[in-house]
Structure 1
Amino acid sequence: MAQGRLSFYCSAQEDWCQLMARSFEESSGIRVDMTRKSSGETYAQVKAEESNPRGDIWWGGTGDPHLQAAEEGLTEEYISPMRDQLHPWAIAQAESAGNRTIGIYSGALGFGFNRDLLASNNLPEPACWEDLTKPEFKGHVQMANPNSSGTAYTALATMVQLFGEEAGFDYMKRLHANVNQYTKSGSAPIKAAGQGETTVGIVFLHDAVATAVAGFPVSIVAPCEGTGYEIGSMSIIKGARNMDQAKAFYDWALSAEAQSLALQVNAFQVMSNMAAESSDLAPNMDLIKLIDYDFVKYGSSEERRRLLEKWDNDVSRLPQ
């Protein structure tokens, strides 16, 4: 059995993070210290710790902040012997970042709504992004803050690519008028919808499926205009104190066995290992109208910073 420790930064759902940490401990004998934060928060932590890295590996969360970290030299180049088992989109993610990150799962953006709340408020069933900006949905929509949440940044970048920048920001302003809260975590809005605290939550569709599978009255919508998607990613932190352990985790986390653990915690993403088990309940990416999301551009440090500043200045300060 291998020895040593691993400082594991995780940006997926809490129970999945815990399962990955404990399962790797059992298979390797390496002790894992896990910290769970959203992808935007984890990027900020890795950046803040650049001169004295505390983490060894960062697993999960949307790919954009992983790409930004790669561009800024915060993560380590590594080519895993497991790469030949992965879908082409996972390898393309790695190649676009100089092999400083890699795709571990994929998931489409959309929203879910609480059927009971929709009915009690006499609201029409939303099918499109545009529906969420209608006056009758004022106070009924929740999404995360794109500064802290990779999910919400994907939503912002999606609108810019789907409608063009001017029209995309116009959409975000009109949506803002109907938003009741910007959460820190990307999955929080659909949990709130499930519990009846908001009618609509803008999230990745796999999170909406998980809420529905848990028994909440949630319906899932892939918006009619088309939508963006994420490539959840994994990166080794540059200057990691436990580099051998980090590479061992990286290789293990790309295996079909490790990726199939997702089903134990109702994580319904499309996994990057071609042999990983998948659920019939997972959103079928082939049936969703996906945009040609430009991961390189919208994962770049400059573009990400520019869009977030514009959102802060032009959208978030508007009255609601």
Structure 2
Amino acid sequence: MKFVTSLGAGTALWLFAALNVASAQDLNVLCGVDEDWCLTMETAFEAKTGLEVAMERKSTGEILDRIRGERADPVIDVWWGGTGDTHLQGAAEGLMEPYQPAHSEDALPWAQNFFQMSGGKASGVYAGALGFAYNADILEDMDVPTPSCWKDLTDPQYRGLVQMANPKSSGTAFTVLATLIQLLGEDEAFAYLSALARNIPSFTTSGAAPVKAAARGETGIGISFIHDAVTQKLAGAPLVIVAPCEGTGYEIGAVSIVSGARNLDNARRFVDFAMSPDGQATGAASGQNQIPSNARAALPPAAPDISLIRMVDYDFATFGSPEQRRRLLDRFDKEVLQGASAVETQ
């Protein structure tokens, strides 16, 4: 099996070998969605085209850093999945190749707008709203109230019970940061995050990890995209899914071709497939519940109805800026991460 995850224990030697043979593959892809979807997409594309794909799963921020690091001599051909504002940052830095895929005429309006915003360098594949989920059994056993709003999560009663990813590695968490700024204003958002950090024992690398931990009973509340929580709930986890009362943000997951890709024609074939009804059906086939961007693709039966969720008018142009990303992540590091560490040592 060629598919790997960046979190797998004991795979360092195997991963090293896999990356050494990556250049011999027909296509090299970094995948920013759930591991099951990465594998399903890889298998479906190989079956359709007969091409051999080397696909590796990483968090969105890690993917951007990897592509930056290989800028002078790219190994990766395609970046598939992960939050769109991070794809926009890569496009703004000249890391992505312009390409208008097949099926673009079937893209929903939000996906067409995203494509234009990227300068034709990134295509929207799916959408999903941000929120959180709590493990009802854990909160009941601890006799703490159930949260319904962002502001609730800073309550000292949830000390040690909240998980969130680090926005330096996770596109999901960067969406949390951008959402709170748009809801509260920047200074108030950082004050909120500093208070929230007191309830978070540690920040995860992956954006889906918090809600998976809540599903397993390892934490009480996981902040993540709602579709990731739905997947865990359908698997039997005692989760209650919350769209925060103040409103929330959303992601447009994207696909981009890396500038200077060695396997450019095959990369274009992959993007075409990713934007097709068959390619987008691999999400539901792997148990995922994002909303596909192709109007002809079937909506997963359990996909959240985002029309019922109070949404911010998410500013992809601002938060897709490399300068904004660097500035906000530096501020997060200094005021939230280092601030939380200082509190712990007092």
TM-score using structure 1 length: 0.98
Kindly provide the amino acid, as one letter, of the partner of residue 244 in structure 2.
P
Deviations 1:97-139 (A, max 9, x none): 1101010000000000001001001111100000100110111
Q: What residue in structure 2 maps to residue 196 of structure 1?
A: 217
Q: What residue in structure 2 maps to residue 103 of structure 1?
A: 124
Task: Give the whole-Å Cα distance in 2 for the aligned partners of 1:245 and 1:141.
Answer: 42
**2:69 is aligned with 1:70:** no
Kindly provide the amino acid, as one letter, of the partner of residue 283 in structure 2.
A
Kindly provide the amino acid, as one letter, of the partner of residue 76 in structure 2.
G
Contact 2:102 2:275 in 1 (8 A): no
Task: Give the whole-Å Cα distance in 1 for the aligned partners of 2:330 and 2:208.
Answer: 23
Deviations 1:53-95 (A, max 9, x none): 0001110001111000000000000112311011011111111
Q: What residue in structure 2 maps to residue 228 of structure 1?
A: 249
Q: What residue in structure 2 maps to residue 257 of structure 1?
A: 278
**2:151 is aligned with 1:148:** no
Secondary structure of the corresponding residue to residue 183 of structure 1: coil
Secondary structure of the corresponding residue to residue 111 of structure 1: strand
Count of aligned positions: 317
Task: Give the whole-Å Cα distance in 2 for the aligned partners of 1:118 and 1:247.
Answer: 48
Contact 2:111 2:123 in 1 (8 A): yes
Kindly provide the amino acid, as one letter, of the partner of residue 193 in structure 2.
M
**2:186 is aligned with 1:186:** no
**Alignment counterpart, residue 39 of structure 2, candidates 14, 18, 22:** 18
Secondary structure of the corresponding residue to residue 61 of structure 1: strand
User: Which blocks of at least 5 consecutive residues in structure 2 are unaligned?
Assistant: 1-24
- Pairs within 5 Å for 1:21-32: 21-32=42-53
Contact 2:161 2:199 in 1 (8 A): yes
Task: Give the whole-Å Cα distance in 2 for the aligned partners of 1:13 and 1:19.
Answer: 10
Task: Give the whole-Å Cα distance in 2 for the aligned partners of 1:235 and 1:279.
Answer: 24
Secondary structure of the corresponding residue to residue 215 of structure 1: coil
Q: What residue in structure 1 maps to residue 305 of structure 2?
A: 284
Q: What residue in structure 2 maps to residue 36 of structure 1?
A: 57
Kindly provide the amino acid, as one letter, of the partner of residue 286 in structure 1.
S
Q: What residue in structure 1 maps to residue 335 of structure 2?
A: 314
Kindly provide the amino acid, as one letter, of the partner of residue 235 in structure 1.
S
Structure 1 stretches (4+) deviating beyond 4 angstroms? none
Kindly provide the amino acid, as one letter, of the partner of residue 129 in structure 1.
W
**2:26 is aligned with 1:8:** no
**2:175 is aligned with 1:166:** no
Q: What residue in structure 2 maps to residue 138 of structure 1?
A: 159
Kindly provide the amino acid, as one letter, of the partner of residue 37 in structure 2.
W
TM-score using structure 2 length: 0.90
Query: Displacement of 1:174 after TM fit?
Result: 0.8
Q: In angstroms, what is the RMSD of aligned CA positions?
A: 0.8
